[in-house]
């Protein structure tokens, strides 16, 4: 292996992949925390209208972004899959099975954007959240259509509203929380 390819692998390792104990254990713990927050937020959303997941979408997207940004991969995937499996076990949502691919691919999408950008600007967080939310809500929209038998146009509208709320809300929260963690020297 040449020096140049070692440098490339080190860059990929530091920007995309992190397998230290802190990252892996943190991902599992934060997966459980994510699920606790999801239990509350999605139940509030369900009280309003089951297919519309605004608070749950913002919570999910914020935690997906933060965990992936701070702990990288595979921590982002571990957190997302922990959340999805607990959601299925607790009956959080009729479409919880679709959280498995949604969380997996959304975390990867966030990683790819964060790897390319410095994540120091609002626009970087916005782009990362846009990709994350679109990817995740494609799977959730499909679940709404398959499981709840919603017409395609209703599933698309529901997913688009959740996606929009997640992009805006999670961009703001992820940026503010990441900045606060950086200022505190915790990242």
Give residue 4's pLDDT. Answer: 52
pLDDT recorded at residue 76:
93
Count, residues in the chain: 187
Query: At 50, is the pLDDT very low, low, confident or very high (cuts 50, 70, 90)?
Result: low
pLDDT score of 187 more than 90: no
Residues in CB range of 87: below 8 A, 6 or more apart: 35, 38, 93, 96, 99
pLDDT, tens digit, 9 for 90 and up, residues 115-159: 999 999 999 999 999 999 999 999 999 999 999 999 999 999 999
Q: CA-CA distance, 156 to 114, in Å (whole number)?
A: 27
- Kindly state the average pLDDT of the residues 157-180: 95
pLDDT at 65 over 80: yes
pLDDT digits (tens, 9 = 90+) for 71-83: 999 999 999 999 8
- Considering the entire predicted model, what is its pTM? 0.87
What is the average per-residue pLDDT within 9-33? 77
pLDDT tens by residue, 81-93? 998 999 999 988 8
Q: What share of the chain in percent tops pLDDT 70?
A: 90
Give me the CATH topology for the region 3-183: Arp2/3 complex 21 kDa subunit ARPC3 (1.10.1760)
């Amino acid at each position: 292996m040449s020096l140049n390819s070692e440098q490339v692998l080190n860059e990929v390792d530091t920007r995309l992949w992190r397998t230290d104990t802190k990252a892996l254990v943190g991902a599992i713990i934060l997966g459980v925390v994510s699920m606790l927050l999801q239990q509350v937020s999605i139940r509030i959303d369900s009280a309003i209208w089951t297919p519309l997941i605004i608070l749950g979408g913002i919570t999910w997207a914020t935690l997906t972004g933060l965990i992936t940004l701070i702990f990288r991969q595979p921590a982002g995937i571990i957190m997302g899959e922990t959340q999805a499996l607990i959601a299925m076990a607790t009956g959080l949502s009729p479409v919880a099975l679709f959280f498995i691919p949604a969380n997996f691919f959304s975390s990867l999408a966030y990683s790819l954007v964060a790897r390319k950008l410095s994540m120091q600007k609002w626009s970087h967080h916005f782009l990362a959240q846009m990709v994350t939310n679109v990817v995740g809500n494609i799977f959730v929209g499909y679940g709404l259509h398959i499981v709840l038998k919603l017409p395609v146009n209703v599933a698309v509208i529901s997913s688009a509203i959740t996606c929009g709320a997640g992009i805006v809300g999670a961009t703001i929260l992820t940026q503010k929380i990441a900045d606060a963690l950086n200022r505190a020297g915790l990242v």
